[in-house]
Structures are given as C-alpha cells and as structure tokens.
A and B are shown apart, each in its own frame.
Chain A
Amino acid sequence: MSVVSPRASGSTAPPARRRSIAGVRPVHLLVAVATMVVLVVALVWDGEWRVLRVVLTVLAIIVAPAVWDPQRRVIRPATGVMVALILLALIGPLFTRDPLMLNVGESLATPGSDIWFGTDQHGRDIFARVIHGARLDLGVGFSAAALAVIVGMPLGALAVLRGGLFDSVLLRISESFQAFPTLLLALGIVAAVGPSIPILIFIIAIVNVPVYLRLTRSAVAPIVNADFVLAARCAGQRELTILLRHILPNVRQVVLAQFSVNVAWAIQILAALSFVGLGVPVPTPEWGAMVRGGYEQMVYGRWWVALFPGLAILFAVLTLNQLSDRVRHTT
C-alpha cells in the first residue's frame, strides 16, 4: 500500500484492500465445501428429531461464512466456537455410544479414560447423553428463537407502519407479557397443555415474541421517516417492498444480536422446564433433565452426574452470549 498515492490524487476513497480475483477468497470455497459435507451427513444420518436436524443444518450454513473476518483476516473466535458446537450437535451423535442404553451393572461409574464423563444411576453413558443433548437443546433453542423472530419482527415493523390503535394495543399486550416472569409463564402454559417437543418450542417462542416485537418496533421507529424511506415511497415502491428492502435490513444487526441471546434464553428455559420435570419426556437426553437426575446423587458426593450436563448448558449459553456481544459491536 502506498502512502502517497491516495493523497496525491486527493481522493477520499480509503486505500484499496487486497482482494483475490472476482472477490472469491479461498476461505469461501472451503466454507462452501464444509457446509456441503455437513448437509450431506446430516441428511443421510437418520436421527429422531428430523425438524431439529434441519434447523441446525440450515443454521450451520448461515453461520459458517461469518466465521471468517475478511477485514482483519482472522477467525472470529465466538462464531468459530458456535459453528463447532453446531457441528458437534449435528455429527457428534454419530460417534458416541447409545445414550439410552441402560447398563445397571455399570451404574454411577466415576469418570475415567474409557467413560469420559462417567455414568448415571441407570448406567447410561453421560458423555453420549451430553452430546445427544446438544442436538436437542440447540435444536429446540434455535427453532424457538427462529419462530419468535418470524412472528415478532414483522409484528413490530407492522406496529410502527400502521401506528395508531393497532400499535398501542400491541405494545400494551407485549408490555403486560413482559411483566410475567418468563419461566413461570412457560411453566403455567406447559402445565395446562402438557409437554412435548413441538409444544415446548411453541411455548418458548410465544414468551419471547414480545421481546422481538418491542426490539423491532424501537429499531424501526426512527427509520420509518428517514429520508431514504421517504425517497422510496416517493419513487412509488409498494409498502411491502419498502419494508423488506429498506427497513428490515437496517434492523438486522440488532435483531441478529438479540437472536443469539434468545437462543441462549430458550436453551435455559428448556433446561429449566426439564429440570423441574415439565420438559422433555424422561429418558430423552436433555441437559436440564440430566442435571435433575444428578441432583439426587449430589448428596452422596456423586458430582459428575449433574456437573457435565450443567457445564454443557453453561458453555452453550456462554458461547451464544459472546456471539451476541460480537454481533452488537461489529457494525
């Protein structure tokens, strides 16, 4: 890079960044190949939760290119760990023991070189259960957060565009919703409806919709009357086009950051529901349910049963929160 040239030409343009031909960098090809592999593996492998698998696969494809920071030419650590987690959830279960296999002879084995995380009171391999749990927890977390975005974001944007009574009624309802402690509300609904995976996803999404509604609303409100929107309107573009092309892309950053936090919340709510016995059905490997199983063992000093699934929740949620911080701070 020459120091003199941009100055000598008197141009405002920042010095040109080194680019490979046609803007395609080797890393893009690498990411493309990697996502293809993941996709194929995920589709060939036949697990129980088809929907969750598809959600995770789609997510891996969306997130993967963001691992690379083209400006600083480094791997973004938070995104990298997130992708690794998703891949672990997708492919990991293929390589572990059966998480449901009972083995009474080996119940409550301490962690060791062959049984990494030990076994629980029914002799099930905790490592296998934690890995399988990743698929369920991340899958439910992402699905619930995605559902909440899909419902909440357009509602929030619509509230601003319509304004008036529609806006204030929606706002009051979402405010009232936020007065409820999320977990207790979810508990109340689950207790009424009964737990199952789709219902859990639905309920966790419902209690999170108001968050997106308000977020989008506050992000869109200052933009709606921005000059470029007025310009688009004057140019005769339809409202829907304006919303999709001009307004929503501008709130992407905030919503993306919130999305990441929301997946983390969803995982925490799912784990909490399962912990109190209102989440997934009993033998299913789920982190919160596993912590519950380990709670009773704690008194006898068998710490590993609850420790590892709890660490898994902590790790997943921490990663998602870090990711959200990164997204928020890179504009």
Chain B
Amino acid sequence: MSAADVPEVSIPDAGDPVAPESGAVPVLDVFDLTVGFGSAAKRAVRRSIPLQGIHLQVGAGERMALVGESGSGKSLTAAAVLGLLPDGAEVIRGSIRLDGEELIGAPERRLRDLRGGRMAIMFQNPRASLNPVLTVGGQIAEVIRVHGDAGRRESWTQAVDLLSEMGIPDAARRAKDYVHQYSGGMAQRAALAMALSCRPDLLIADEPTTGLDATLQQQVLELVVEQVTSRDASLLLITHDIAVARSHCERTTVMYAGRVMESGPTASVTGSPKNPYTSALLKAFGTVDQRRMYAIGGVVPTLIGELGECAFADRCPLAAPECREGVPDLRSVGDRRVACVKA
C-alpha cells in the first residue's frame, strides 16, 4: 500500500502481510481519511469531526463489509469516496485512491467520469433513489450514455438487458414503467442494474436491504453478491447488521464514532473479536448465545473536535487509564488490524 506518500501520520504496519493480495494495488484504498464539518475558521475544538483517521482497503474482487451503528460514519465514508460530501463537510486530511488514482483534490469532471463509471453506489430506500417522473429504463440508459459512447437505442437495449439480468420479468415492458409501479424489491433490482450498468470496479451498497422484508433482503443480497462476483467487481457493503456481513462478505471493517475499530477477515473478526467494541456489537446483535438481550451501556460520543482518547473508552467494560492517553493506533494483530491498546 501507499502509506509512504503521506508521512505525517504513520501506521506501524504499513507493508503489512494482512493487506489483501499484497503487492497488488487495491481497488479502493482509503488512508487516514479525516472529515470535518463546519468552517475551519471556527475554533478547532468546536468543529465536529465525524470521520477521523479512517483506513480502509478493498482488494480486487473482494467483498468488504463496513459495519457499525447508525451515526458511526459508514455512509459518510461512502460519500467521501464518491466525492459527494454534504454541504459544509470537507476532507481535512488523508487520501482516497481508486485503482491507485488519488481522488482527493481530483477535478470534478474526472470524479464525475469515475462515479457511475468505475465506482457506483446503490442506496437504501430504492424507490426514493429513482426519479419518479422518468422511466426506469430511461434512467439506466442515461447512465450508460453518459459513461460510454452508446446511442439512445443502443443504451436502451442495454438497459433492458441489464434489467432482465437482474431478474426483472418482462424487462422490455417494465423498462418503460415508472418507479411507483415497481415493488420495493424490484426497485432495488433496478437500482442495482443502474449501478452496475457501466461495469464498475467497485460497487458500494449502502444498506441496500433496509426497508425490505426479510425474505426479500436475502434475495437482494444474494443477487448483489452474485452480480458483483460475475463481473469481477469489488463490493463495499455498508450495513449495521453484523450477521449480513458474516454471511456475504469475506472481510469486515467495524466502525465506531467515526473510527475504524477493527478490520480483518470476517470469520476471525466476528469469531474472535479482539476489540471490545466488536464483541459488544456482536453481543448486542444476539449472535452470541445468551438469554438476555444485551445493550451497550452509554451513548456514542459527540464528535466535536478531534478525540484525544479511545472513542469507546466511556462505554468499554475493559476501559483503563491508558485508553485515555491517546487515540489507539490501528495495529496489526495476527490476521487483522485492531485499534485497541488491550488487543
């Protein structure tokens, strides 16, 4: 990985053996990403820092889950990758590389070509993310036209093909429909078709199944995984449900309060968590056998100013004085990386 270009922050294990297919350039490489809200003119302590020092790598053809509670910064990370941070938010430092190309500071034109072209996203609430007054097929065809040199007719045919690949019956007819005529599951299939229309290297799926019923969730997730795999694309699956991560992704990154807490192969992260937060999250989801429902005590810290301590220290059952001495580094421990002094 390319840590050497950004000297001011170092992680101890820059060339670490855990990195996927070491030597190969990862599809997505987020390094020390720190995002601030509010103007820099405000006193530094008043400025909110919703993302602090995010490290995240997704290798080619890999499926990575980004897990965390709501408000942990998962979606904001995705927005930063796409270069679509909300008004008032800005990247303070760090780097985001897509296939080795730096995105931070890249011109808007270039970013627009990459969005939908080499990286694509599907959001939760698929019916709201399709335009109500344009036909579904028309919207997909437009994405195809914008990123390639296909004409109107050609892009329409491709759009219809994509829809039928995603399992929409009678696609030629349904492509002319509007989103309100689609069911939730079908709308999500259409959103997937639109996201995959230009064969991106990276698909970001932001809570793609929230709002769908349980059986549909499974279907849609399986479809996403299947389509991503068949296209040799990488997947960054954002979810709050660690069970989803476990069944669909080979690697998992756990986020909390705008930090990465633990990252590594899903089996080991969920099987033998090394960060107390990961354990707590697993317990809360009831994946660990127990009688009573487990709730993590306390609340997520407010994100005003950069933290000078472990973000989970207030709620952590293992908290010790050394947890408050500084932000724990994301260290390499065995087959993964953990940000905990106790690990």
Contacts and interface: CB of A to CB of B under 8 A. Distances in A.
A10 B314 contact: yes
Interface in B308-323: 314-315
B146 to A, nearest CB: 37
Contacts of A16: none
A10 B45 contact: no
B287 interface: no
B230 to A, nearest CB: 46
Interface string A7-31: 1101010000000000000000000
A142 to B, nearest CB: 39
Interface residues of B, number: 9
A10 B302 contact: no
Contacts of B314: 7-8, 10
Interface string A226-241: 0000000000000000
A2 to B, nearest CB: 10
B299 A3 contact: no
A277 interface: no
B315 A10 contact: yes
Contact of A3 (B298, B304, B315): B304
A10 B298 contact: yes
Q: Interface residue tally of chain A, by bracket?
A: under 10
B301 interface: yes
A6 interface: yes
Interface centre among B301, B302, B315 (most CB of A within 10 A): B302
A10 B299 contact: yes
Interface string B13-33: 000000000000000000000
Interface centre among A6, A7, A8, A12 (most CB of B within 10 A): A7
Contacts of B302: 6-7
Interface string B75-119: 000000000000000000000000000000000000000000000
Nearest to B299: A12
A7 B301 contact: yes
A7 B48 CA distance: 14
Interface centre among A3, A6, A12 (most CB of B within 10 A): A3
B302 to A, nearest CB: 7
A3 B44 CA distance: 11
B316 to A, nearest CB: 11
A9 to B, nearest CB: 8
A199 to B, nearest CB: 50
B286 interface: no
Contacts of A12: 299
The 8 closest A-B pairs by CB, nearest first: A10-B314, A10-B298, A7-B301, A3-B45, A3-B305, A12-B299, A3-B304, A7-B302
Interface of A: 3, 6-8, 10, 12
Interface of B: 45, 298-299, 301-302, 304-305, 314-315
